[in-house]
Amino acid sequence: MKRMQLIYNPHSGKGSFETHLHECIDIFRDAGYETQAHRTVAPGDIELCVAGLPKDYYDAIAVSGGDGTLNIAVNAMIRHGLNIPLLIIPTGTANDFASALKIPKDIKEAAALINNAPAHYDAGVVNGRHFLNVCAAGFLADISQTVNKELKNSLGNLAYYLTGLSKLTNLTPIRVRVTNSQSSFEEDIYLFLALNSTGIGGFSRLSPGASVCDGLFDFIVVKAVSLLELGFILVKLLAGEHINDSNIIFFQDSYAKIEPLFDGVSCLNTDIDGEAGPQLPIVIENRRHALRVFAPENQLR
């Protein structure tokens, strides 16, 4: 028998995973895996769990939770040299990275991907911390952190939209310098995004042409504009029709540096995969094919 470590967040989404726990373990057993399960109970215990795993003992690791849980687990795996394939069971609200990989939302169907071959996917690193889906700064960047948990559980992705609308009355432009591998520019902005996949937090069409395995990020910068103009931009963001808007700066690259050109502390923090990220300035780099993930047949590469 091969060996698998399962880590699951019992509070992700509506807490549905635990009702399917034994069924998942049976699926893993039928695929030839003996499973050790770890139920997260407090901040920091995923790190402790991964740090305590013996090297060269486990053949795979499974993570059930949302984008934040997945981010914490992957960072712990990389820090502690756990270079084994990852099985993702998406049980959060948005599950942006899992959606980009076309991983089923059905828990048992996602668990059954253990029977498939792992594929290689990109990851990002910002100031030493890895991310899978997005690094963001500015207006809307912290939606995943601030959205009410009960609202998120009851309304799903709609909770992200409602939280975003509540922030429209408290906009603060930030002036930054953005440098990529080809050029540099300075701009007053409301939002900066480095995307590995097509969307975040329910905004699923932010970058329709993005790929999680091309070695590039899709960078989207929303310029500081009037409230009326911003309303039009948000409508275009939802429809995926914003890339050619004159108030949007879009480019693809494997590298970008974002430096603050303002005084004060507001809007200095970033968000990475729904978790609080490092303060500006930041350097973002793409680590092509850094992860091996059990994937659907149509995603194998």
- 23 catalytic residue (yes or no): no
Q: Side chain identity at 41, as an amino acid letter?
A: V
103 three-class SS: coil
Specify which residues 175 forms β-bridges with: 188
Residues 192, 214: Cα–Cα separation, whole Å = 21
Q: Which residues of 258-267 are buried (b: 16+ CB within 10 A; e: fewer)?
A: bebeeeeeeb
Task: Given the residues 34, 109, 229, 275, select the one marked as catalytic.
Answer: 275
CA 271 vs CA 52, 141, 232: distances in Å: 28, 6, 24
Residues 49, 76: Cα–Cα separation, whole Å = 9
Residues 289, 285: Cα–Cα separation, whole Å = 13
Q: Which residues are known to be catalytic?
A: 275
